[in-house]
Amino acid sequence: MLESVLVLPKDINDYRPFVGDQRIDEIIAQAAPLRGARVLHLNATAYGGGVAELLSTNVPLLRSVGIDAEWRVMPGGPDLWETTKAIHNLLQGASIAPSSPEASSESIRHRNRRRSIVAPWTPEMAAIWERYNALTAELFDQQYDFVVVHDPQPAGVLHFLLQSSPKASSTKWIWRCHIDLTKARPDAWSFLRPYLAPYDASIFTMQEFVKSDVPTPEVALIAPTIDPLSAKNIELSPSAISEVLHRFGIDPKRPILTQVSRFDPWKDPLGVVDVYKLVRRTVPGLQLLMVGSMATDDPEGFKYFELTARRVGEDPSVHLLTNLSGVGSLEVNALQRASSVVLQKSIREGFGLTVAEALWKARPMVATAVGGIPLQIASGQCGYLVSSNRECAARVQELLANRSLAKEFGTNGRERVRANFLTTTGLSDYLQLFNGLRAQASARVSTFSASRSRL
């Protein structure tokens, strides 16, 4: 049997203060035709990344509206995580990943115009991926009405299930892609694509991420969302925030620049340090917080943490904080709320939950205009979208100097998240997809899209 992930219960009615009675009543009505349906979410890890955060809320809320939802993870080991990290990078367009980990994002882009610097998808990688997906299929021993498979790690499970039991099933299979496939390497995509063909639907964050040759008959657009009642997003008292700052030696009287992200080349941690050094020239008291989580399926994380520490050097105003040094969801919450400006300096970004988290806490943002970030940040209203280290530093300096503008951006950002990116929206979009797939069992349409017209 596949390992089951335990989740704390949640009640849909607790979200009424955030989105209103009418919206909650609409969601309960959406769920009524699906009451009793069995739903499985399958992914690679129970903690350490955005997918795990999403499922820790989505699964209990599905249960709250009468759906029998489960969350299970595939078995894996270091060889699988090395392999799936490779395909993840290749699908995100790894030809622009760092040729030298010491490079800044701007020099990366310049060098990679000249040559490819990432090895192709190999038969050895394919064999490892297929072996673990076949093992996952062997452990798959229950029937469900809907199965949602997240990202490339377990995407081959349905293929191997059909090989062992090809008879027709009423289960609707959905592949949820959390990454940006805009510049996917052809070798990786041509390998993965046939394994997606048996799925009934796929989910992408935004239309721009959808490959023109995605083989699923249905394509849904569902943006990730955050839970306002999670430990990472609940309101905190000033004393609780102060206690966290004191614990990590952070001075609340000095300005704080923060990025919350994995230590991953796509998050450009070295570029974050470079921006901090530029801003510090005019704001000498500036502190930098780089807060990340080390995940079981991300073997690069430790390497990039070390590289970042090397770039920082002995600067006591820079704090590199992780789950291994006592940072959990509550600490991330406090550190974001204490920040003067929050960065998201990604090179590639499927969505970036940390953007919505910071906006919800009324923090002004400066972020690169990549992937799903522009979906969240209306530049000039709740933050700034930038394209270079120098532009990023200039915008940070502007917000540090103009506190009334920073406060206005923060207020606007919180309302934007309330309208579009709270977990009730994601729940509603999933219910719409499930209802649509069930209704279309006999008459399929070319594309199903959860409505995002409110953006």
String of DSSP letters for 68-98: EEEEEE----HHHHHHHHHHHHHHTTGGGS-
Determine the pLDDT at residue 95: 60
Determine the pLDDT at residue 85: 86
Which CATH number is 238-420 given?
3.40.50.2000
Determine the pLDDT at residue 299: 65
Determine the pLDDT at residue 102: 41
Determine the pLDDT at residue 195: 98
Determine the pLDDT at residue 28: 98
Run of H or E residues at 260? strand 256-260
- The distance in angstroms from the start CA to the end CA of the chain is 41
- The tokens describing 416, both together, are 């934007």
In this model, does residue 176 exceed pLDDT 90?
Answer: yes
Give the sheet arrangement for strand 256-260, strand by strand.
Answer: 318-322, 287-292, 256-260, 341-344, 365-368, 383-386
**Percent residues over pLDDT 70 in the chain:** 90
285-312 pLDDT, tens digit per residue, is: 999 999 998 765 566 778 889 999 999 9
Tell me whether domains 3-225+423-439 and 238-420 share a fold.
yes
Determine the pLDDT at residue 99: 36
Determine the pLDDT at residue 301: 78
Question: Which has the higher per-residue pLDDT, 58 or 301?
Answer: 58
In this model, does residue 110 exceed pLDDT 80?
Answer: no
In this model, does residue 93 exceed pLDDT 90?
Answer: no
In this model, does residue 57 exceed pLDDT 90?
Answer: yes
Determine the pLDDT at residue 1: 87
Determine the pLDDT at residue 118: 58
Question: Looking at residues 408-418, what average pLDDT do you find?
Answer: 98
Task: In whole angstroms, give the CA distance from residue 246 to residue 45.
Answer: 32
Question: Looking at residues 417-441, what average pLDDT do you find?
Answer: 95
In this model, does residue 116 exceed pLDDT 50?
Answer: no
Average pLDDT, the chain: 90
Determine the pLDDT at residue 291: 96
Tell me which of 52-56, 162-166, 334-338 is least confident.
Answer: 162-166
With contact defined as beta carbons under 8 Å apart, do 151 and 44 qualify?
yes
Give the closest residue to 256 by CA, choosing from 238, 276, 270, 281: 276
Determine the pLDDT at residue 105: 43
Which of the 8 DSSP states describes residue 120? P
17-48 pLDDT, tens digit per residue, is: 999 999 999 999 999 999 999 999 999 988 86
Determine the pLDDT at residue 444: 46
Fold classified for 3-225+423-439: Rossmann fold (3.40.50)
Domain boundary assignment for the chain: 3-225+423-439, 238-420
Q: Tell me which long-range contacts 60-64 makes (C-beta under 8 A, separation of at least 24).
A: 60/7, 60/8, 60/9, 60/10, 61/10, 61/12, 61/423, 61/427, 62/427, 62/430, 63/9, 63/10, 64/9, 64/10, 64/11, 64/12
pTM of this prediction? 0.87
Under the banding of pLDDT at 50, 70 and 90, the label for residue 363 is very high
Chain center to CA of 15 = 22
Determine the pLDDT at residue 455: 53
Question: Looking at residues 334-363, what average pLDDT do you find?
Answer: 96
Task: In whole angstroms, give the CA distance from residue 340 to residue 42.
Answer: 37
Tell me which of 103-112, 196-205, 311-320, 415-424 is least confident.
Answer: 103-112
Question: Looking at residues 349-377, what average pLDDT do you find?
Answer: 96
Determine the pLDDT at residue 296: 57
Tell me which of 83-92, 200-209, 334-343 is least confident.
Answer: 83-92
Determine the pLDDT at residue 191: 97
Under the banding of pLDDT at 50, 70 and 90, the label for residue 109 is very low
Determine the pLDDT at residue 107: 40
**Percent residues over pLDDT 90 in the chain:** 79
Which of the 8 DSSP states describes residue 171? -
Give the three-class secondary structure for 323: helix
Tell me which of 119-123, 320-324, 430-434 is least confident.
Answer: 119-123
